[in-house]
Amino acid sequence: MTVDPQQIAVEGAAAFVAAESLTEIHELELQYLGPQSLLSGMKASFRDLEPQERKVLGSQMNAARQQLELAAQDSRSKLESAARAAQLATERVDLTETLAKATVGHSHVITQTWERLEDVFCSMGFTVADGPEVETDWFNFEALNLPPAHPARSLWDTLYLDSSQLEGLGEEQLLLRTHTSPVQIRSMLRAVRDGSGPPIYVVCPGRVYRRDTADATHLPVFHQIEGLVIDRGITMGDLAGTIESFVKAYFGDEMTSRLRPSYFPFTEPSAEFDISAADGSWLEVGGCGMVHPNVLRAGGLDPQEWSGFAFGFGIDRLAKIRYGVEDLREFVTNDVRFLSQF
């Protein structure tokens, strides 16, 4: 039986057009274009043909193969395009959709205030000093002109620690420091020991502890920063000027400060310092004064040669004033709605 290559091409092309899947296309390619296809089988008849007949049949076979390959390629392209369109339809992304903004964490408002204070005081020539939160009675009280029987000790509700099982302490009483003032003593002793001072210009930020009930103005764990200046010829005027420079650097040039007489065992004379409010009133910020001679002696310094001033205030309270927060407890409730404002 004589097989017509053109007839094979027409039938095959129609089959490729009717194919509904890529798998069917592959099977048709094997049927019409593979090694066992009719076109491939026709090559065996070449030996029985005259040269001119072989030339004609070969040309017809090549034309039929090209027609089938084009039909297969066209059908495959259409099916692949349809499959891709269907996939895109199911995986379609709406580029106009508004996605929720990713939240990014940031430092706590107290940490921000702490770091801002350090920056301000460092720009004024101070360095930052720190000390342990578990202190001895001597550093926390006695070295600061507060001997055991001193009535001013009642101003601090101290948390004492049971150190009876610790070796090497002797009769020394341990406690959670009630203020950062012990760092002043440590700074003086360190400067004398290693020969780095006086002069001494340090600020001492840190966490402190009191046996207080938490309310709008008190927390049992809070943060303080203190400043200490020791040099020759230091006066109360230097203290007032430092406080004023700090207030303007931290709150702005429109703010001012004032000193009011007060009492602290570790300074003499002593004062409270206030800052002006927008309504013309005054807000109490902290305490300050000239370093008491007994404190200088405890720090290994001669009060006849050296003088100095100290000041201190609550970091939490300063943040409360700066941001207009009514209740200190807001800082420790971990309410993201509140903290995200800063």
Against a cut of 0.95, is the pTM above it?
Answer: no
Mean per-residue pLDDT pooled into runs of 10, the chain (342 residues): 70 80 79 72 67 72 77 83 83 74 82 92 92 92 86 71 72 86 94 88 94 84 94 94 92 90 92 87 91 94 94 91 86 84 82
* Whole-number Cα distances in Å, 174 to 129, 316, 328: 21, 25, 28
Tokens standing for residue 86:
């269907």
Residue tagged 């592959």 (tokens): 26
What is the CATH code of the structural domain delimited by 109-339?
A: 3.30.930.10
As a whole number of angstroms, the distance between CA 57 and CA 47 comes to 12
Residue tagged 């070796």 (tokens): 167
Q: CB-based contacts of 200: which residues, under 8 Å, 6+ apart?
A: 187, 188, 191, 228, 229, 230, 231, 308
Given this model, what pLDDT does residue 82 score? 85
Given this model, what pLDDT does residue 329 score? 87
Given this model, what pLDDT does residue 70 score? 83
Please state the domain extents for the chain: 5-90, 109-339
As a whole number of angstroms, the distance between CA 37 and CA 72 comes to 15
As a whole number of angstroms, the distance between CA 76 and CA 20 comes to 10
- Phi–psi pair at 34, nearest 5 degrees: -75, 175
What would the DSSP string read from start to end of 157-226?
Answer: --EEE--TT-TT-TTPPEEE-SSSTHHHHHHHHHHHHHT--SSEEEEEEEEEE------SS--SEEEEEE
Given this model, what pLDDT does residue 116 score? 92
Q: CB-based contacts of 232: which residues, under 8 Å, 6+ apart?
A: 198, 199, 305, 306, 307
Question: 238: which DSSP letter?
Answer: H
Confirm if 154 and 186 have CB atoms less than 8 A apart.
no
Given this model, what pLDDT does residue 214 score? 84
Tokens standing for residue 251:
């709150």
Given this model, what pLDDT does residue 170 score? 64
